[in-house]
Structure 1
Amino acid sequence: MTRAAIDTSLFEAAEAVRAKAYAPYSGFQVGAALLADDGRIYAGCNVENAAYPVGNCAEPSAIAAMLAGGGKRIERIYVTGPGVLPVTPCGGCRQRIREFAAPDTPVICHGVDGEPLYTTLGELLPHSFGPDHLVR
């Protein structure tokens, strides 16, 4: 499958799950879809909660789906949300992605009324701390 075809599949999966996001407080629905090392696409959406700190962002929801499905590493991730500006992962999500992805992992960020931003995890989270820093 070509990179363009993969990105189309990731975009479609992120948008399909974004439509299911539970965002009654912010109204800001986000979807994330990732291509895992097992070749499968896993998706997740944000889930808000009246007690704000206990909500889930879309990216860790997709990571949880990946782990539950048997994937172990993120090969590519696509994040979608409303508006013109690219919807980038928040700081906490960047660190969560780093746990399962290398700095050169492609991250596509898309406010669906605008153009997508093609970047890497290393560009979003420079000089990151990851599992490879911990000596066992």
Structure 2
Amino acid sequence: MDKQTINTLMEHAREAVKKAYCPYSHFPVGAALLTEDGKIYTGVNVENVSFGATNCAERSAIYTAVSEGYRPGFIKAIAVAGETDDFLTPCSICRQVLVEMAGPDTPVYLTRKDQEIYQTSVRELVPMAFQSLNM
């Protein structure tokens, strides 16, 4: 993927951070995913006082695209942004959703508050992924 596309995707993720609803943790996260057909979907973390009802930014973006008809394999890349000192990685639940909705070699771009970008992949985030109920 070219650098301009990566930067554009990350800009969408960084803009999404500003819309996060995180009154309890005060830990805003934004995500932006690029579909195989070129659309960008963003998501933010949305907290709830029960915490168990909280949804992460990555899943918010993925579920929005799924609600518009996308099915597994539609994600070309995903970017995750926050105001952290180290690169902000998806939680384990989001990683498992990525295993089902993206290919193992799908690029995952992570950033931190200095805006440096780190590239990894779904496979690197989940090396021994649970992929089937028929195992």
TM-score, with normalisation over the residues of structure 2? 0.90
2:4 alignment counterpart: 5
TM-score, with normalisation over the residues of structure 1? 0.90
Change (3 A) 1:13 1:114: closer
Letter in 2 for 1:126: P
Judge conservation of contact 1:86–1:114 (CA < 8 Å) in 2.
no
User: Structure 2 CA distance, aligned partners of 1:39 and 1:110?
Assistant: 21
1:61 alignment counterpart: 60
Instruction: Give me the CA root mean square deviation.
Output: 1.4
Residue correspondences, number: 132
Structure 1's consecutive aligned runs of 4 or more residues displaced over 3 angstroms after TM superposition are 69-72
User: Structure 1 CA distance, aligned partners of 2:92 and 2:98?
Assistant: 10
Query: Please, which runs of 5 or more residues in structure 2 have no aligned partner?
Result: none
1:91 has 2:78 as partner: no
| Sequence identity percentage | 44
1:111 alignment counterpart: 112
1:43 alignment counterpart: 42
Change (3 A) 1:134 1:51: closer
User: Structure 2 CA distance, aligned partners of 1:43 and 1:69?
Assistant: 13
| Structure with the higher helix share, 1 or 2 | 1
Query: Please, which runs of 5 or more residues in structure 1 have no aligned partner?
Result: none
Judge conservation of contact 1:35–1:41 (CA < 8 Å) in 2.
yes
Q: Secondary structure at the match of 2:52?
A: helix
Letter in 2 for 1:75: K
